[in-house]
Amino acid sequence: MTEQVDVEVESGRAVLGRMLRFLREKEGKSLGRLADETGYDKSYLSRLESGERLSKVTVMEDLDGYYGCADLLVSLWKVARIDAFKDKYKEYMRLEATARIIWVYSPNVPGLVQTEDLAREVLSGPQTTDQDREALEEQVAARLGRQLLLNKKPAPSVRFVIDEPALRRPSASAETWECQLMHIEAVAQWPNVVVQVLPFSAGIHHLMGKGSLTLLWQKDGSGVAYTESGSSGLLMDDSEDVLLHRLSYDRLRDQALSPSDSLTFIRDVLEEHRS
């Protein structure tokens, strides 16, 4: 009989923290000196090294530059950020990160195009402790980290079909909402991205009230469908399920405005907001 041994897998965040400490100690720097030289708070840096906190990717970019280690820390951060998501989303996150084709339908502003301020507002819930606020910031950092895949090399081919209500429901802050609309306008002009607006005039459609739909295809041609509504998400890799959801997406895409008309629509909404 083979003896079974329990092996605890080290989290990506712990690996990143261990590397941060290794690089600092290799340079013979104390946390205090590192804080002085980088401008980051000493206690914040300590919590990054202990794996208690997940930073924004820009912090890792700064530290990569400080230590002269190319993009080592950013690469480890991309793995560590997945820890901020619940287990049921982790396989989806892994597939999204490697997808060559991404199709998204969303009744709200898709997470992949949310600005930091809107993401923080969307993800905010009751916050009664410092831990709640820290958890929120980690979720915001992780969401922003997902957006890196839109600009990776080679860039995936991405299509967003966004329901009109998503563009008509403003943020609590006028400035935040203007920046969000401007960002969607900019993303819609990226060469690897297509944005289409599903207008009110399209009438009732079969995904109303059913949440978002995402289709992912890998380099080898394999695909998955992912639906999400509220706090519930379902990942499907059965070929028949993927085909049925692709047909659903095709119908929505055909009902939506063309990419050029959608860009005009977004600009009109932006001008209405400004007036």
Whether 12-81 and 85-274 share one fold: the answer is no
Q: What is the CATH number of domain 85-274?
A: 3.30.870.10
pLDDT of residue 1: 39
Coil, strand or helix at 213:
strand
**Domain residues of the chain, as ranges?**
12-81, 85-274
Residue 269: partners with Cβ closer than 8 Å, 6 or more residues away: 167, 168, 181
Distances (CA, A) of 18 to 10, 13, 80, 82, 239: 11, 9, 12, 17, 41
pLDDT of residue 201: 93
- The second-level CATH assignment, the architecture, of 12-81 is Orthogonal Bundle (1.10)
Residue 44: exposure state from Cβ atoms within 10 A (0-12, 13-18, ≥19) = middle
pLDDT of residue 5: 40
pTM over 0.75: no
pLDDT of residue 128: 60
pLDDT of residue 7: 39
The per-residue pLDDT for range 5-62, each reduced to its tens digit, is 443 557 788 889 999 999 999 999 999 999 999 999 898 899 899 887 788 888 999 9
pLDDT of residue 133: 82
pLDDT of residue 11: 77
CB 14 within 8 A of CB 51: yes
Residues of the chain predicted below pLDDT 70: 1-9, 82-88, 127-128, 231
